[in-house]
């Protein structure tokens, strides 16, 4: 099947024109006329993911392999090493990043993972109502996302309205109209701003919030005439928990 046919389906699902100006969603490696025999869904491309699929595979990832223009290709280093392997295996790469964040991923996490009703949305933000203490909400989120590590800012005791943005949502903080904001990659200055403005924060991690990307697309591609496989990306971070008290 030609990549063009697959691209048209994906564009109808989540238009690529919705991506942010700084983004690089769309077909990144390959041409629309290339024939592919398999589709591989993954959060991103790394050496292990690329190595474990057959030739003539179209990779559909959340994170674009290439963001900035190359000034030099060093095939011993990322991402040029991945580009080289893709070319050798006659594979192609396509990314659905900020466009699918806006149309599907945030809503999927709220509705399917947290099992809450979306009561409003705006670009990268989905809102839902809840009636919990902040500590109860943290425990709820931890259980639903199967994570034991949360970084938090507790500014309010009782939580009635929650905002969620997958990925790195820190720059959205001043737009949030809720008691608590859930996102990933929240930095120190985001925490200061939120604390001063009475906004509680729960940092669930970048990987932890976006790993459901493959599930989102699989729902739409599972009856596709090409074989669709999932390669689970691994979180590059490991978390160290000291048993000592300092």
Are residues 61 and 73 located together in one domain of the fold?
Answer: yes
pLDDT of 174-185, one tens digit each? 999 999 999 999
Of 124-133, 143-152, 158-167, the range with the lowest mean pLDDT is 143-152
Residue 241 maps to a domain: no
Distance between CA atoms of 131 and 140, rounded to whole angstroms?
A: 12
Task: Give the pLDDT band (50/70/90) at residue 244.
Answer: low
Q: Is 35 inside a domain boundary? A: yes
115 C-beta neighbours (distance < 10 Å), count: 9
pTM of the model: 0.94
Residue 165 has pLDDT above 70, yes or no: yes
Read off the CATH number of the domain in which 9 is found.
3.40.1390.30
Output DSSP code: residue 172: G
User: Poorest-confidence range of 14-28, 37-51, 219-233?
Assistant: 219-233
12 in any annotated domain: yes
pLDDT over 80 (residue 245): no
* Residue 123 and residue 73 share a domain: no
- What is the predicted pLDDT for the residue at 240? 82
Of the chain, the percentage scoring pLDDT greater than 70 comes to: 98
* Residues 129 and 93 placed together within one structural domain of the fold: no
Task: Give yes or no: residues 104 and 93 share one domain.
Answer: no
Q: For residue 75, how far is the Cα from the chain centroid?
A: 26
Q: Into how many domains does the chain fold?
A: 2
* Residues whose CB is less than 8 angstroms from the CB of residue 37 and which lie 6 or more positions away in sequence, other chains included: 1, 54, 55, 56, 57, 226, 227
Q: Do both 106 and 200 map to the same domain?
A: yes
With bands split at pLDDT 50, 70 and 90, how would you rate the model's confidence at 222? confident
Q: What is the pLDDT of residues 47-105, one digit of tens each?
A: 999 988 999 999 999 999 999 888 888 999 999 999 999 999 999 999 999 999 999 99
d(CA 211, CA 213): 5
| Residue 237 domain-assigned (yes or no) | no
Both 147 and 194 in one domain: the answer is yes
Provide the sign of the torsion angle of the four alpha carbons 52, 53, 55, 56, taken in this order.
negative
Tell me the HSE value of 118 on the side-chain side, using a 13 A CA sphere. Answer: 19
Asked if residue 37 is part of any domain, the answer here is: yes
pLDDT value of residue 112: 97
Q: Is 173 strand, coil or helix?
A: helix
In a domain, 170, yes or no: yes
Residue 243 has pLDDT above 80, yes or no: no
From CA 64, how far away is CA 45, in angstroms rounded?
A: 8
Which residues 6+ apart lie within 8 Å of 83 measured at CB?
Answer: 29, 65, 66, 73, 75
> Is residue 32 domain-resident?
yes
Residue 154 falls inside a structural domain: yes
Does 44 have pLDDT greater than 70?
yes
Residues 195 and 108 in one domain: yes
Domain that holds residue 149: 99-209
């Amino acid at each position: 099947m030609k990549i063009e046919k697959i691209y048209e389906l994906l564009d109808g699902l989540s238009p690529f024109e919705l991506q942010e100006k700084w983004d690089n969603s769309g077909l990144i490696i390959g041409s629309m006329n290339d024939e592919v025999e398999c589709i591989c869904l993954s959060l991103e491309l790394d050496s292990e993911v690329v190595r474990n699929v057959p030739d003539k595979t179209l990779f559909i990832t959340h994170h674009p392999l290439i963001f900035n223009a190359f000034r030099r290709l060093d095939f011993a280093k990322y991402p040029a090493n991945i580009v080289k392997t893709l070319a050798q295996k006659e594979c192609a790469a396509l990314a659905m990043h900020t466009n699918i964040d806006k149309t599907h991923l945030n809503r999927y996490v709220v509705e399917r993972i947290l099992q809450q009703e979306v009561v409003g949305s705006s670009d990268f933000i989905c809102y839902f109502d809840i009636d919990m203490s902040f500590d109860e909400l943290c425990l709820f989120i931890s259980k639903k996302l199967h994570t034991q590590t949360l970084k938090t800012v507790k500014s309010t005791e009782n939580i009635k309205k929650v905002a969620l943005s997958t990925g790195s949502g820190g720059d959205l903080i001043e737009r949030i109209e809720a008691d608590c904001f859930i996102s990933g990659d929240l930095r120190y200055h985001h925490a200061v701003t939120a604390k001063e403005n009475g906004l509680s924060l729960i940092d669930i991690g970048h990987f932890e919030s976006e790993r459901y990307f493959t599930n989102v697309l699989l729902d739409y591609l599972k009856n596709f005439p090409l074989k669709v496989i999932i390669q689970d990306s691994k979180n590059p971070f490991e978390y160290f928990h000291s048993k000592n008290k300092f």
